[in-house]
Homo-oligomer: A and B are copies of this chain.
């Protein structure tokens, strides 16, 4: 049986079952002691993930397995964790041909999960989670965790963990392959007042306690990269533990598209003030100070996995002054690379760099500006989810490759979009599929605003797509939404919850909540205003009906992920429709206008009540401020 199942690899299909049947191994049964084993001296990031798996097992079964570092004494159920090429038990199993070396050797961020006979003397059979490298092993651990029933969103969306007495492993070799896009991550941005106030109240700020939760989420979602919050924050400086933590856990840090040389914008201000230096952010006037600060930035981060942003924009994410020319920018990049070489003692191309063609920088590129071939060229969307530029299909390959900076959330003209999710995954798929097909495969990063309210699902979709875009096509997108809902709310409610997400994002992309007003739709044209309003109100009834039928434990998760955005937006439609009616009737001095004015007030107040409920009542007030 085992040899047979070893001869082929399955995608990470369901391998955990709660029913015992032929060809399955006991992971955990009522009376069976489960043990997790990894070598002494295992990588600290893997050790952290293994501790989370231990705690996840406890959440699922009520019993915490032992985590041991020495050959265990004949437990009846054993999970072995390790990375190939680290002189661990995994190498031993490879040597014994119990694990297929070619599945892991030279691969990137890949795991296999399989059963193995006689891994140690005295142990008949065990389950092995083996990685091609650190993150491969970590992703394997979290795949296991997900399959025993812990949602990647358990913390960030209060997804309940269903108790299971028994867990069995279906014999076989399982893997998710390796990722299609090398660097996959998010950008926490526009983070005040919501995420900022919440993190302050919950963790005391954007510190390592906060980032530990973010990194864990990212790893559970198989991401590896991020741009940290930077509105008034400086990741490396706010908490000296932030940088080492990211590196230890396995997250590759960047700074945002306009923050060069591993220095947050705030770092620049803090650095110059602290050293009593000129704060002028202009390379023609303050070159020495800028170079010093960049050297400081590269030195600080030199031991950690990172992607260094190069180039320069104006201060505060604005365009540089009009006089900026391509020659100057090319000189800046050259000087930045000199600093990198000086600090690292290695050729510049040994340090991962990106240059972002954001807004006006794309114009410089169009005017002919170029950066060295090893630098990732980061294309950008138009801030509204429409990709602006892609490489030519027949462009000759770049060593650094291409990246894409995408937006779910945006602060800027014509009006911010940072309240409720406006992202249809259909649009994301269409644009990112195009992106992938045009060869943009080195780095994908998406601006997710406050991460929460209501960005949870598009984040999941974006990262799943970054792992394997070719999984998706125009006919199976809805199934992804259903699967996501199944993971968060269970099978009985998934189809309807997915329809709700699908429909509300459709409505919110006709016009964003922030752009909606009383004039958006016509009162006259076949009752257009009333019809769009009634549609949203009907959707809110459907959402409340599902909320009502859902087991109490699942309601908070459903509220954050589905119900709140629908209720809040339906209420907004109610409000603006009432504004429209009020204004229409006021023109003819119709006293009914007053009735509609009262309704406007009522909906305005209801908005505040919904917000209050999200912040203070839902999940026992855990998310206070996130809906500020």
Interface residues of A (CB under 8 A from B): 537, 540-541, 544-545, 547-549, 551-552, 563, 567, 609, 613, 617
Contacts of A545 in B (CB 8 A): 544, 567
Q: A537-B541, A548-B567 are in contact. List 16 more A-B contacts (CB 8 A).
A: A540-B541, A541-B541, A541-B544, A544-B544, A544-B545, A544-B547, A544-B548, A545-B567, A547-B548, A548-B563, A548-B613, A549-B609, A549-B613, A549-B617, A551-B617, A552-B552
- Measured in the bound complex, the distance between the Cα atoms of B537 and A260 in whole Å is 57
- Measured in the bound complex, the distance between the Cα atoms of B617 and A242 in whole Å is 46
- Measured in the bound complex, the distance between the Cα atoms of B545 and A609 in whole Å is 11
18 pairs of residues in contact across A and B, judged by CB atoms under 8 Å? A537-B541, A540-B541, A541-B541, A541-B544, A544-B544, A544-B545, A544-B547, A544-B548, A545-B567, A547-B548, A548-B563, A548-B567, A548-B613, A549-B609, A549-B613, A549-B617, A551-B617, A552-B552
Contacts of A551 in B (CB 8 A): 617
Contacts of A609 in B (CB 8 A): 549
Q: Which 8 A-B pairs have the closest CB atoms?
A: A544-B544, A541-B541, A549-B613, A544-B548, A549-B609, A547-B548, A541-B544, A544-B545
Contacts of A540 in B (CB 8 A): 541
- Measured in the bound complex, the distance between the Cα atoms of B541 and A547 in whole Å is 12
Closest to A548 in B: B544
Closest to A541 in B: B541
Closest to A618 in B: B548
Closest to A559 in B: B548
- Measured in the bound complex, the distance between the Cα atoms of B574 and A541 in whole Å is 13
Give the interface centre of A547, A548, A552, A563 by most chain B CB atoms within 10 Å.
A548
Interchain nearest-CB distance for A364 vs B (Å): 52
Give the interface centre of A540, A541, A609, A617 by most chain B CB atoms within 10 Å.
A541
- Measured in the bound complex, the distance between the Cα atoms of B551 and A229 in whole Å is 35
Interchain nearest-CB distance for A433 vs B (Å): 33
Interchain nearest-CB distance for A491 vs B (Å): 15
- Measured in the bound complex, the distance between the Cα atoms of B556 and A552 in whole Å is 11
Interchain nearest-CB distance for A611 vs B (Å): 12
Interchain nearest-CB distance for A573 vs B (Å): 13
Interchain nearest-CB distance for A43 vs B (Å): 43
Contacts of A544 in B (CB 8 A): 541, 544-545, 547-548
Interchain nearest-CB distance for A536 vs B (Å): 12
Interchain nearest-CB distance for A158 vs B (Å): 14
- Measured in the bound complex, the distance between the Cα atoms of B545 and A122 in whole Å is 61
Interchain nearest-CB distance for A46 vs B (Å): 40
Closest to A534 in B: B534
- Measured in the bound complex, the distance between the Cα atoms of B541 and A551 in whole Å is 19
- Measured in the bound complex, the distance between the Cα atoms of B164 and A393 in whole Å is 72
Contacts of A563 in B (CB 8 A): 548
Contacts of A552 in B (CB 8 A): 552
- Measured in the bound complex, the distance between the Cα atoms of B261 and A353 in whole Å is 99
- Measured in the bound complex, the distance between the Cα atoms of B542 and A567 in whole Å is 12
- Measured in the bound complex, the distance between the Cα atoms of B547 and A393 in whole Å is 56
Contacts of A613 in B (CB 8 A): 548-549
- Measured in the bound complex, the distance between the Cα atoms of B126 and A52 in whole Å is 60
- Measured in the bound complex, the distance between the Cα atoms of B537 and A617 in whole Å is 27
- Measured in the bound complex, the distance between the Cα atoms of B552 and A613 in whole Å is 12
Interchain nearest-CB distance for A281 vs B (Å): 48
- Measured in the bound complex, the distance between the Cα atoms of B613 and A261 in whole Å is 59
- Measured in the bound complex, the distance between the Cα atoms of B545 and A567 in whole Å is 9
Closest to A540 in B: B541
- Measured in the bound complex, the distance between the Cα atoms of B549 and A540 in whole Å is 14
Interchain nearest-CB distance for A84 vs B (Å): 49
Interchain nearest-CB distance for A605 vs B (Å): 12
Closest to A544 in B: B544
Contacts of A617 in B (CB 8 A): 549, 551
Interchain nearest-CB distance for A620 vs B (Å): 10
